[in-house]
Amino acid sequence: MKLQTDQDKYSLLTEINRLDLVDEDSIPDEVFEIFIKQRRKRVNRLKDFRKSQNTKSAWRKNRYKYLFSIRKFHRSIKGKRLHRSMGRFLALRYLPSKRPARESLERVKDLVLKASSSIRTHMYIEEGYYRSLDAQIDLELLAEYILPILQGVEAKLYENICYEMNDDELECVLRIIDEDELLKALTELSGIELMAVKNMWYDSRNKEVEGSSDYMVSRFRKLMEKLRETKE
């Protein structure tokens, strides 16, 4: 386990009642093992409790209200190349174009697969750092949700780059990637000015249903319709 700050060290030692080590240069491995075992029991218990507070129907409908860490995770993914690859793939896949779709998509196939794999790898890296109890629960709930989806999407796109993601898959991807990179890709492929595309995206917002299960998919489809109408 990695500690990013002195505050992380203090918090960890406080949780296992070992503040006698706070002035030491390093923490013994056995102390980390004790912490991990104790933390695992608490995390599993609290995760189960949080899930029990929401019926399956409520979770499915409003899961993004419960996945508080998705925005923090989104911001923690560094490297515009990853976001650019995902954005360009979505633009090529869903924006109507006179160009042969398969030919264009085949060119970005390796890039989008690497991008998806990098997101999963980043999730594993994030789990290796110390974080507060609540933050760890949030991250693990997020991982349990997005990792299987991304793995499934990768496998399907590997077999058929023209595969059309279902709403859950598309919502997950849209929640993770950087909006600016997506809009830039749509601007490039549509030939419509970036500010106009951004205004269309802004107009598709609906704060009242932002946490719903298909909020981003709904916005994305509205944007595609507006771009199609503008191009015509």
Residue predicted with more confidence, 226 or 230: 226
Q: Are 228 and 96 in contact (CB under 8 A)?
A: yes
Residue 201 confidence (pLDDT): 92
Q: Cα(226)–Cα(228) distance, rounded to whole angstroms?
A: 5
Domain ranges of the chain: 1-53, 65-231
Q: Cα(189)–Cα(231) distance, rounded to whole angstroms?
A: 11
Q: Are 213 and 81 in contact (CB under 8 A)?
A: no
Q: Residue type at 170?
A: L
Q: 98: phi > 0 → left, psi -120 to 50 → alpha, else beta; which?
A: alpha
Give mean pLDDT, residues 17-39.
91
Residue 209 DSSP label: G
Which residues 6+ apart lie within 8 Å of 99 measured at CB? none
Predicted confidence (pLDDT) per residue in 63-116, tens digit = 776 676 777 777 777 777 888 889 899 999 988 665 555 668 888 999 999 999
pLDDT reading at 20 higher than 70: yes
Residue 99 confidence (pLDDT): 58
Q: Are 88 and 109 in contact (CB under 8 A)?
A: no
pLDDT reading at 184 higher than 80: yes
Task: Return the percentage of the chain with pLDDT > 70, whole number.
Answer: 88
pLDDT reading at 125 higher than 60: yes
Residue 12 confidence (pLDDT): 92
Predicted confidence (pLDDT) per residue in 149-174, tens digit = 999 999 999 999 999 999 999 998 99
